[in-house]
Amino acid sequence: MNWPMLRFGNWRFGLGFGWLLLATSLSVWGAQNLRPLRIGLPHVLMDRQYVLAADWRQYLQNRLHRPVEFVIRRKDSDTTDQLRLQNLDFAWSSDYPYVHFKRRLRLVAVPLYQGRPSFRSYLIVPAADDQTTSLLQLKRMVFAYVDPYSTGGYLDPRHELWMAGEDERQFFSKTFFTWSNRAVVEAVAQGLAAGGAVDGFVWDSLAKTHPDLTGQTRVVAQSLEYGAAPVIANRSISADDFRALQRVLLGMARDPEGVALLKRLNLDGFVPGNAKLYARTAEMMKSIGEE
Amino acid sequence: MKSAFDLSFRYKIPLWGSLLIVTTALAVSASLMLLDYDDLKEDLLISSSNLGRTLAKTLFFPLQLDDVWRASEIIKAPLKEPSVDNALQPEAIVVLDKAMRVVVSTSPRTIPMLTGLRQLGLEYAALAARIAESRGGDSQTIDLPESLQLYVVTPIADEGDFLGTLVIVYSKDMLLQRFYRAAWRAGLMGFLVLAVLLPINWYWGQRLSRPLLLLADRMGSLDRSSAIKIEPGIYAYQDELGRLFGAYRRMLVEQERKKALELQMMQSERLAAVGRLAAGMAHEINNPLGGILTAIDTLKVFGDADPRTAKTIALIERGLFQIRDTVGGLLVEARMKSKDLEPQDIEDVRSLVLPQARKKGLRVNWSASLAQSLPLQASLVRQILINLLLNAIHAADSKGLVACSVELDGGDLRLSVENDGKLLTPDQMAHLFEPFSPLSEDGHGLGLWMTYQIVQQLGGAISVECDNGRMRFSVTLPFGAGV
């Protein structure tokens, strides 16, 4: 059996990504003797947006009045593991881990995209392919997924195949993970894969910043909505720390500096959110027997 | 058809030089090009097998994890910067699994994932066969015949665990293009070298051949009557050519001397022949003449002639006397012994001729250094000197100059008489010493003849030359035991 899912747990393979430890100005907070807040960022969403991440971290430090460390891991599963091992205090993660490990994690905030706290999955094919109109036409083709923990880039297309009565493990001739939404767009643009599934939010953002890349792909179909990638907290985090970050995130939309950052993130803001948002995700997981 | 080897040196030297330069430039350019091509190929092989080993090592884990995207990113990295100039940049990179199916390639559209290498066309099928043959080795280069590509094949393996094969594809075309660029540069350099060297060679060839041509021209003129002299300084160097010029000059001098000698010998022989003839005739005439004169004398004494007959006899006698004088003039007999030459004899000659010179208002330069008597017949020497001096006085311009010098030179007595005035032509000089010379306006033209005969009989030499507007007669008389 050649299913990558079986291997993703081998988190020791950081493969060049590892910790992204950005320098902190310890002199300011050293006196207060505050531990840096460690927040995981989703590589699937933030691939190659390191400047933006640095600016956002600075913003959070200024608002929280304490040092902040951003940690980006190549695989979502690594972030989840770090969260579970309490190496991280918070994480902006795909919705998948939250649904998986609901009991150990708390929802801090949910991003608003196009005014809604939800994303859609896009099915994309190379621009040269003007025949394909649905996922089912990609039978026995090479298909690119984002990450085993990605709803839009993995769970949703598999669920669709399940709905159509297809066995996902046999449907495609070959599937592979690229570990970021942007890389799926690239793999499809290059023709490495005949199709791919991505979070629509990332494709739309890329269409603004890198139209030459998205121009080499074509969106064939959009999925139903599912809960947007949430910011989650470790259960062990103190209530003060939890409220502080939640307050800052929710306040971004009311603060010009925060608004500028949100614009660069292609988001409208953050809302508290609730578990119901992820009902569809949980349902999909349940239907394909992955709970 | 004229052979190229018959060409003048004027063309042959520069042409041979040019041929040599062009050949050298071509050979150097060609060897540079070949070296460059070899270097390029060597570079390609080294860098490609290095690249292959590095990539294969890096690809091992992604391949083990079936991380296709990671593998794709790894093989794309060497192709990231497409620079037209770089022949060392691969055209494509393909990762094959154990079954030689494509795991991932840098050109997924033409070499799609999961395709068997043998399905990708004849060339790839041949490549697959070669890879199958040599599985397990180190990185190797596969150059298929008639292929436009060069394949560098490296196994992806670690500790004996073989996962697949990495194939790096290079375009030979790129290699060739780069070679052409190098060739173009080498050609340009060659052309520049030629542009500098060829004119220098041409100039050098001309310079070298010029004296040769000159010499050849002069040598060609040698067999003609008017051989051309070579001005000294026309070729001032002491190399072989300079020696040739020297030899030519010496040859010319030798030739002139030989000619003069031949002329002189011809003259002497002619004069000797004339002398023998004259002497023979004089004897033949003198013998009967003596008898006739004796008979006439007897007739005058004992004959009983009437006045008319007596007058006739007297007439005949005078005529016969004249014949005897003339014949006597022809027959120069130097054998009769007279006294030795004294300095006084020279003084006497001076006293004799000075009045004649004064009559013409001439200036006479006299230089006689004789201080003792010499074993030479005084009368003959006096006759020679008087003859020459009278001739000179006669030929000199009015109020002109006559010079005479008498001196000893080892065993020789040297007499020299010169005068200004009208000079003789070379033709006149050739017949100067012949009897009955037409130059003699009043005498019978035997003066110089006699002088010549006397000098000959004394074993000496007489010569005449025109020098500096003057005629000069020089006489050398040896004295001593031989005479």
Q: DSSP string covering B395-418, please? A: HSPTT-EEEEEEEEETTEEEEEEE
Q: Which pLDDT tens digit goes with each residue over A204-258?
A: 999 999 999 999 999 999 999 999 999 999 888 999 999 999 999 999 999 999 9
Q: What confidence tier does B357 reach under pLDDT thresholds 50, 70, 90? A: confident
pLDDT of residue A6: 35
DSSP A35: P
Minimal CA separation from B108 to chain A, in Å? 5
Band the pLDDT of A94: cuts 50, 70, 90: confident
Amino acid of residue B244 = L
Instruction: For A216-246, give one letter per residue: b (16+ CB within 10 A) or e.
Output: bbbebbebeebbbbbbbbbeebeeebbebbb
Assigned token pair, B94 = 């393909």
* Chain B partners within 8 Å of A11 (Cβ): none
CB nearest A142 (choices: B66, B70, B114): B114
CB < 8 Å to B108, chain A: 190-192
User: Using 50, 70 and 90 to split pLDDT, how confident is the model at B444?
Assistant: low
A5 vs A131: CA distance, rounded Å: 30
| B178-232 per-position pLDDT tens digit | 788 888 888 888 889 899 999 999 999 888 888 888 888 888 877 766 667 777 7
pLDDT, tens only, B372-418: 888 888 888 888 888 899 888 888 888 888 999 998 888 889 999 99
Residues in chain A within 8 Å Cβ distance of B66: 2, 4, 7, 176
Q: Count of A–B CB contacts within 8 Å? A: 42
Amino acid of residue B2: K
Cβ distance of B72 and A192 shorter than 8 Å: yes
pLDDT in the model for residue B467: 80
- pLDDT, residue B203, reads 93
Q: Is the pLDDT of residue A290 over 80?
A: no
Query: In chain A, which residue's Cα lies nearest the Cα of B111?
Result: A192
Q: Which residues of A touch B (CB under 8 A)?
A: 2, 4, 7, 10, 13, 15, 142, 144, 173-174, 176-179, 183, 187, 190-192
Of B61, B70, B104, the CB nearest to A192: B104
Instruction: Work out the burial of residue B360: count CB atoms within 10 Å of its CB; fewer than 13 is exposed, 13-18 middle, 19 or more buried.
Output: middle
Helix (H/G/I), strand (E/B), else coil: B153: strand
Q: Which two three-digit tokens encode residue B323? A: 């014949």
Q: Please count the other Cβ atoms lying within 10 Å of the Cβ belonging to residue B221.
A: 14
Where does residue B206 rank: exposed (0-12), middle (13-18), buried (19+ CB within 10 A)? middle
- The fold for domain B340-478 equals Heat Shock Protein 90 (3.30.565)
Burial code (b: 16+ CB inside 10 Å, e: under 16) for A75-107 equals: bbbbbbbbbbeeebbbbbbbbbbbbbeeebbbb
CB B216: neighbour CB atoms within 10 A?
Answer: 13
Residue in chain B lying closest to A1 (CA): B66
Task: Count other Cβ atoms within 10 Å, centred on residue B212.
Answer: 16
**Rounded CA gap, B129 and B124, in Å?**
9
CA-based nearest residue to B392, from B330, B474, B453, B328: B474
Orientation angle between helical segments B172-221 and B9-64, nearest 10 degrees: 170
Residues 6+ apart with CB under 8 A from B97: B63, B103, B163, B164
What structural domains and CATH numbers belong to chain A? 4-115+228-275 (3.40.190.10), 118-226 (3.40.190.10)
Contact A192 B67 (CB under 8 A): no
- Best B58, B106, B113, B115 member to test A by mutation, with max A CBs in 10 Å, is B113
**Two structure tokens written together for A66:** 């304490």
Tell me if B69 and A144 make a contact (CB, 8 A cut-off).
yes
CA distances to A74, A151, A176 from A162, rounded to whole Å, are 28, 15, 18
- A179 with B68: Cβ contact below 8 A: no
Average pLDDT on A110-119 reads: 94
Binning pLDDT at 50, 70 and 90, where does residue A157 land?
very high
CA distance A227 to chain B (A): 27
Higher pLDDT, B88 or B17: B17
Asked if the Cβ–Cβ distance from B61 to A13 is below 8 Å, we say yes
- What are the tens digits of pLDDT across the range B80-102? 766 555 667 888 999 999 999 99
Residue B226: count of CB within 10 angstroms of its CB:
6
Nearest CB to B70; choose among A15, A142, A191: A15
DSSP string for A173-231: SEEEE-SSHHHHHHHHHHTSSSEEEEEHHHHHHHHHH-HHHHTTEEEEEE---EEPPPE
Residue B136: predicted pLDDT: 63
CA distance B37 to chain A (A): 35
- Give me the numbers of helices (H) and strands (E) for chain A, helices first please: 13, 13
Task: Compute the nearest-CA separation of B89 from chain A (Å).
Answer: 19
Do B291 and B452 contact (CB within 8 A), yes or no? Answer: no
Taking CA atoms, what residue in A is nearest to B109? A191
Interchain pair B65, A177: CB under 8 A? no
Query: Which of B363, B413, B420, B357 minimizes the C-alpha distance to B386?
Result: B357
Phi, psi of A77, deg, nearest 5: -60, -35
Residue B112: closest C-alpha in chain A: A192
Nearest CA in chain B to A179: B69
Cα gap B357→B349, rounded to integer Å = 12
Sheet containing B412-419: give its strands across: B363-368, B401-409, B412-419, B470-478, B461-467
Q: What angle do CA A84, A182, A219 make, to 5 degrees?
A: 120
Q: Which of A13, A173, A176 comes nearest B69 by C-beta?
A: A176
Provide the angle, in degrees to the nearest 10, between the axes of the packed helices A181-190 and B68-76. 70
Chain B hits for A174, Cβ within 8 Å: 68, 113-114
**Contacts with B92 from chain A: Cβ below 8 Å:** none
Q: Checking DSSP bridges between strand A118-119 and strand B92-97, what pairing results, if any?
A: unpaired
pLDDT of residue A80: 82
Cβ–Cβ < 8 Å for B207, B235:
no
Residues from B contacting A (CB-CB < 8 Å) are 61-62, 65-70, 72, 104, 108-109, 112-114
- Nearest C-alpha neighbor of B437 from the set B398, B464, B469, B400: B464
Given CATH 3.30.450.20, say whether it is the number of domain B4-180: yes
**Whole-angstrom distance, CA of residue A223 vs CA of residue A159:** 10
- pLDDT of B465 above 70: yes
Q: How far is B159 from chain A (nearest CA, A)?
A: 19
B79 vs A contacts (CB less than 8 Å) = none
Q: Is the dihedral of CA A167, A170, A173, A178 positive or negative?
A: positive
- Find how far residue A119's CA is from the centre of its chain: 10
With contact defined as beta carbons under 8 Å apart, do A111 and A118 qualify? no
Domain ranges of chain B: 4-180, 240-330, 340-478
Structure tokens that stand for B234 in this block: 């026309």
User: Coil, strand or helix: which one is B457?
Assistant: helix
pLDDT digits (tens, 9 = 90+) for A3-51: 333 333 333 333 333 333 333 344 444 445 678 999 999 888 888 888 9
Give contacts of A142 with chain B, Cβ < 8 Å.
Answer: 112-114
- The C-alpha atoms of residue B398 and residue B419 are separated, in whole angstroms, by 11
